[in-house]
Structure 1
């Protein structure tokens, strides 16, 4: 689907979401028992590695995260189907919903067991992934950098490629790294603050899609 905003605006908004992924995966990995809520490749690997005795990995945490992520992706797909003819409303609704889920989780985080807190966060990022996937923005998946890094190297001049416009890929890596680093630093002070920051950034993205010039 075509985004209802200018290309530069789209890139900026998706980079914000990439940074949010780093923030929230810092929370999930460091505070929820070595599990990811956005990077499902990691959870599938963790699920297999949990068979190693004494590895400190919970198969339940990985399985719950994957299941909740799929539920969020299903929700994202339904919203895209229902509102795809009105892309501005669709994107604003999808990311507003994600922001609300993260904000509510922030409010109740201190009272939630780790496994329970994993569920809404994984749902939020399943929703984000499904929505960004429909946009089909090249090199800006917002949650996975494997293909981004592969393209950065494989399409470079050194590999015999054109080497043109690597900036999206580079900024995507920087955004994820910055988000994870910021999350790791802020977690030493407050978990709720990290979640509130993430919710605010996603809400900003929703507003961008709702009101930015086409």
Structure 2
């Protein structure tokens, strides 16, 4: 894992710890689990909570607005799935507060690597919950994505949340009109890689979700995040050891 670096570009990227590769991999994981939940758990997202908010709004309109059915509007009756995902995502964000507070109190400006461990454990727990009600699986997987979103926010690359692509798309398009030059091209390249990572991850997740078991696909996602956690921990430990040796 490369050392902390400055990532420049037209997207307004500021100093971060970790690597662009880490962000790209986490985005691919988000695309993977998002598509798996969509194809295997009733067209519900676990990372893209904007989509779930729309699904819930459609359900409210279908059930409470007079004349909706007469207008030919028919939506799949599923309130619990999107709600479970939204709730789980919020729980994941809340769970991340304690590690962040401990990190802040110690004066550490880097994202707590333990957040990645928590995310990996949440994804791995879906293996055990494979036969459980889908709402529970959705909530747990969404909680993992909530934790990942907090980690990405702490990394602080503008336009990249790793769990949604709207901000990335805006930053990518805006990048072509700002700060032309080599630094701009680096920012554009990173944003493009993030977009492609989510798309490729979603394609792979959809294919795997339609072929493999729920436990298998979430186990692979957990293993990927676990490897990232180990890499971040190892890189940080090496830097601390080098700092002590040079003191």
TM-score by length of 1: 0.88
Work out whether 1:123 is the aligned partner of 2:131: no
Q: For 1:105 and 1:204, locate their aligned partners in 2 and report how far apart those are by CA, in whole Å.
A: 18
Q: Which runs of 5+ in 2 are unaligned?
A: 8-17, 63-68, 240-247
Match of 1:211 among 234, 237, 240: 234
Distance 1:57 1:36, change over 3 A: farther
- Specify the SS of the correspondent of 1:149: helix
The answer on whether the counterparts of 2:86 and 2:139 sit within 8 Å (CA) in structure 1 is no
What displacement does 1:147 show? Answer: 1.4
What displacement does 1:93 show? Answer: 1.2
More helix as a share of residues: 1
- Specify the SS of the correspondent of 1:91: coil
* Map of 1:96 onto structure 2: 117
Work out whether 1:62 is the aligned partner of 2:71: no
- Specify the SS of the correspondent of 1:189: coil
Q: For 2:80 and 2:21, locate their aligned partners in 1 and report how far apart those are by CA, in whole Å.
A: 36
Distance 1:87 1:98, change over 3 A: farther
The answer on whether the counterparts of 2:159 and 2:170 sit within 8 Å (CA) in structure 1 is no
Deviates more, 1:5-14 or 1:26-35: 5-14
- Specify the SS of the correspondent of 2:158: coil
Work out whether 1:162 is the aligned partner of 2:148: no
* Map of 1:43 onto structure 2: 52
Please identify runs of 4+ aligned residues in structure 1 that moved more than 6 A. Answer: none
- Specify the SS of the correspondent of 2:160: coil
Post-superposition CA distance 1:108-138 (Å, at most 9, x none): 31x1111121111111111111222122123
Q: For 2:109 and 2:115, locate their aligned partners in 1 and report how far apart those are by CA, in whole Å.
A: 10
Q: For 1:61 and 1:108, locate their aligned partners in 2 and report how far apart those are by CA, in whole Å.
A: 15
The answer on whether the counterparts of 1:88 and 1:210 sit within 8 Å (CA) in structure 2 is no
* Map of 2:66 onto structure 1: none
Distance 1:26 1:87, change over 3 A: farther
What displacement does 1:86 show? Answer: 6.8
RMSD (Å) for aligned C-alpha atoms: 2.2
Q: How many residues align?
A: 207
Match of 1:22 among 31, 37, 45: 31
The answer on whether the counterparts of 1:76 and 1:128 sit within 8 Å (CA) in structure 2 is no
Q: Which runs of 5+ in 1 are unaligned?
A: none
- Specify the SS of the correspondent of 2:147: helix
What displacement does 1:83 show? Answer: 2.7
The answer on whether the counterparts of 2:46 and 2:89 sit within 8 Å (CA) in structure 1 is yes
What displacement does 1:57 show? Answer: 4.8
What displacement does 1:24 show? Answer: 0.5
Distance 1:86 1:178, change over 3 A: farther
What displacement does 1:88 show? Answer: 9.3
Match of 1:146 among 154, 166, 177: 166
